[in-house]
A and B are shown apart, each in its own frame.
Chain A
Amino acid sequence: NAGVTQTPKFQVLKTGQSMTLQCAQDMNHEYMSWYRQDPGMGLRLIHYSVGAGITDQGEVPNGYNVSRSTTEDFPLRLLSAAPSQTSVYFCASSYGSGANGYTFGSGTRLTVV
């Protein structure tokens, strides 16, 4: 099925651990983004990519790294997890300009203890 696939769906980390949230899309979308969703704060952009090999920072990039080696994949790396990174993370993609509207993945709920 076409869409945006995120793994894992749930994850618990200890402070200081590292991990990678995976995001893959099979729609040949150029634009891909990572958002975090926190109560009362809506969705905030972490990093985004306009194509393979091109990434840029969003509103809240600190503590996160990304890379885009292929069109399909856009992993988000937490280098040293902190409790402040407890959140729900959504990956989104769009064909061409994001002005067409994004397709969102089902989210990863991350808890850092």
Chain B
Amino acid sequence: AQSVSQHNHHVILSEAASLELGCNYSYGGTVNLFWYVQYPGQHLQLLLKYFSGDPLVKGIKGFEAEFIKSKFSFNLRKPSVQWSDTAEYFCAVISETGNQFYFGTGTSLTVIP
């Protein structure tokens, strides 16, 4: 079975600080990787996704993620966070069949103005 680990449970940053959230997955085959964001009181929204090709993926709102196959990692980054980035961030992996997503437990990000 696949699994996703997010090691940072709660991150607190000041505005303009750089962000990196860790995500590791366990699956030996071809995977598709995602980062979702959930703003307070809202549903999950897709930030970015990786299928193949360039391992550096750019998403919305200045976020990017790097897929490192040898490390089974897909870390999320943003060079300068804003207060509006306060949210919960979920890493997810889906198998080749695409039938099931496996989500990490999420990282809660608080950005202090």
Chain A residues at the B interface, C-beta cutoff of 8 Å = 31, 33, 35, 40-45, 48, 50, 56, 58, 90, 92, 94, 96-102, 104-107
**A35 to B38 alpha-carbon distance, docked (Å):** 14
In the complex, the answer to whether A98 meets B43 with C-beta atoms within 8 Å is no
Query: With A42-B105, A98-B100 as given contacts, are A105 and B34 in contact (CB-CB < 8 Å)?
Result: no
In the complex, the answer to whether B49 meets A90 with C-beta atoms within 8 Å is no
Mask for B68-110, Cβ within 8 A of A = 1, else 0?
0000000000000000000000100010111111111110000
A91 to B: closest C-beta gap in Å: 9
Mask for B12-46, Cβ within 8 A of A = 1, else 0?
00000000000000000000101010000011111
In the complex, the answer to whether A43 meets B90 with C-beta atoms within 8 Å is yes
In the complex, the answer to whether A50 meets B43 with C-beta atoms within 8 Å is no
A92 to B: closest C-beta gap in Å: 8
Chain B residues at the A interface, C-beta cutoff of 8 Å = 4, 6, 9, 32, 34, 36, 42-46, 49, 51, 90, 94, 96-106
> Chain B contacts of A90 at CB under 8 A?
43-44
In the complex, the answer to whether A40 meets B105 with C-beta atoms within 8 Å is yes
Partner of A99, one of B32, B44, B104: B32
> Chain B contacts of A31 at CB under 8 A?
98-99
> Chain A contacts of B101 at CB under 8 A?
33, 43, 45, 92, 98, 102
> Chain A contacts of B105 at CB under 8 A?
40-42
Partner of A97, one of B43, B45, B98, B106: B98
A42-B6, A43-B103 given. 9 additional CB < 8 A pairs?
A31-B98, A40-B9, A42-B103, A45-B101, A96-B98, A98-B98, A99-B32, A99-B98, A102-B44
> Chain B contacts of A35 at CB under 8 A?
103
